[in-house]
Amino acid sequence: MLLTLEWKNNYLLLIDQTKLPTKLSYVKCKNYLEVADAIKKLVVRGAPAIGVTAAFGLALAALNSKTDNLKIFFEELNDAYEIIRSTRPTAVNLQWALNRIMQKINHLTNIPLIKKVIVEEAILMAEEDISTNKSIGINGAKLFSDGDTIMTHCNAGSLATVAYGTALGVVRAAKESGKKINVIATETRPVMQGSRLTAFELQHENINVCLIPDTAVGHIMAKGMIKHVVVGADRILHTGHVFNKIGTYQLAILAKTHNIPFYVVAPSSTFDLKNHPNDIVIEERSKEEVIKIGKKAVAPKNIDVINPAFDMTPPELITKIITEKGILSPPYNRSIKKLMK
Ligand code: MRU
């Protein structure tokens, strides 16, 4: 199984996802600015993975601090917090991870102890990410039968987490329980997480995967080729509204039209109990991602472009939400409240 990130005592090692699928290479982050840069450039991406990466970013900020003045130390840490937090706005796991670290240390006054506690907490979060995904997998695998074909969008696999994955973790768990599962992956324009990452990681583990253009989703569903749709999430509101990779919303509408169950798979760290749909910032990415494929221009240079990275799927299109604590059913405002208690 691919290990997306690895703590090496004084640096963080990340699979460079911008180079996949042609090259499996690594980026070394020795300070928090390198961590922020890696998140921004999508060297590491996927909500749970950027959360844990952010935690190690704070660990590096703490370890690299030279001061023995507690006030200055916390100022440095808060600067790092702000820079890492501002890298990507939509996935709630990033903020969740940074807050979890800050809450763990904000009452402490001994700098060497704070450094130790931050590193230990970040390591614990990385370990928990894997065990959480395995529990999600066990819960979700029950929904699938031997021989099922599942459609997925973007990459909610090992590469979007520390390892194992959320949506693809369910596929892995079903396979581990002896079921044969086939995956149909959408390309996921414009960054191609489906073709570059999902196709790569499933092939890497000998899980049957077939790639389709995003534009073929309706056709493939209408042909009766899909038993379930399984996607990850960047943020799930207490109302059950799900923010995930752009294109998820249209997949959910098409699934509803064709009576195909639409499952969202996420850990409890992806739930946002405070905000409402209109409060959420949808990351808008560069025009370059749309007007070029690799280095090749596929649109006129001076064309206007809208390039949102995420969209919102309303609760009425979601059949179940699969978490490590159990499977949620509608009405989600009630089931989410009960789960998060
Ligand atoms: O822009 P990305 O690649 O970070 O977007 C990733 C997604 O939208 C995933 O589906 C989501 O983070 C869930 S990953 C377990």
- Which CATH number does the domain 138-340 belong to among 3.40.309.10, 3.90.79.10, 3.40.50.10470, 3.30.70.890? 3.40.50.10470
Q: Which residues pair with 271 in a beta bridge?
A: 236
* Residue 235 pLDDT level (bands cut at 50, 70, 90): very high
Distance, in Å, from the CA atom of 278 to the CA atom of 187, rounded to the nearest integer, reads: 28
Residue nearest to atom 5 of ligand 1 (CA): 46
Q: Is the CB of 161 under 6 A from ligand 1?
A: yes
Domain(s) labelled CATH 3.40.50.10470 in the chain stretch across: 138-340
Q: What is the pLDDT, as a whole number, of residue 319?
A: 98
Q: Supply φ then ψ for residue 25, to 5 degrees.
A: -130, 170
Task: Using most ligand atoms within 8 A of CB, pick from 151, 172, 193 the residue to mutate for ligand 1.
Answer: 193
Q: What is the pLDDT, as a whole number, of residue 341?
A: 83
Instruction: Give 169 Cα–ligand 1 centroid separation in angstroms.
Output: 14
* Residue 142 pLDDT level (bands cut at 50, 70, 90): very high
Q: What is the pLDDT, as a whole number, of residue 294?
A: 86
Q: What is the pLDDT, as a whole number, of residue 116?
A: 98
Distance, in Å, from the CA atom of 251 to the CA atom of 309, rounded to the nearest integer, reads: 15
One of 129, 214, 234, 311 is an active-site residue; which one? 234
Q: What is the pLDDT, as a whole number, of residue 1?
A: 79
Tens digit of each residue's pLDDT (9 = 90 or more) over 165-182: 999 999 999 999 999 999
The radius of gyration computed from the CA coordinates of the chain, to the nearest angstrom, equals 20
Domain(s) labelled CATH 1.20.120.420 in the chain stretch across: 5-133
Structure tokens at 1: 């199984």
Task: Please check whether residue 145 is in contact with residue 179, taking contact to mean a CB–CB distance below 8 angstroms.
Answer: yes
Distance, in Å, from the CA atom of 329 to the CA atom of 140, rounded to the nearest integer, reads: 13
Tens digit of each residue's pLDDT (9 = 90 or more) over 288-341: 999 999 899 999 999 999 999 999 999 999 999 999 999 999 999 999 999 998
Distance, in Å, from the CA atom of 298 to the CA atom of 301, rounded to the nearest integer, reads: 9
Q: Relative to the CA of 167, which ligand 1 atom is closest?
A: 15
Structure tokens at 34: 């390198």
Q: What is the pLDDT, as a whole number, of residue 296?
A: 95
Task: Using most ligand atoms within 8 A of CB, pick from 154, 186, 201, 265 the residue to mutate for ligand 1.
Answer: 154
Of all residues in the chain, the percent with pLDDT exceeding 90 is: 98
Active-site residue flag, 146: no
Averaged pLDDT of the chain: 97
Determine the topology of domain 5-133 in CATH. Answer: Four Helix Bundle (Hemerythrin (Met), subunit A) (1.20.120)
Tens digit of each residue's pLDDT (9 = 90 or more) over 1-50: 789 999 999 999 999 999 999 999 999 999 999 999 999 999 999 999 99
pLDDT (average), residues 276-283: 97
Q: What is the pLDDT, as a whole number, of residue 205?
A: 92
Task: Provide the terminal-to-terminal Cα distance of the chain, rounded to the nearest Å.
Answer: 33
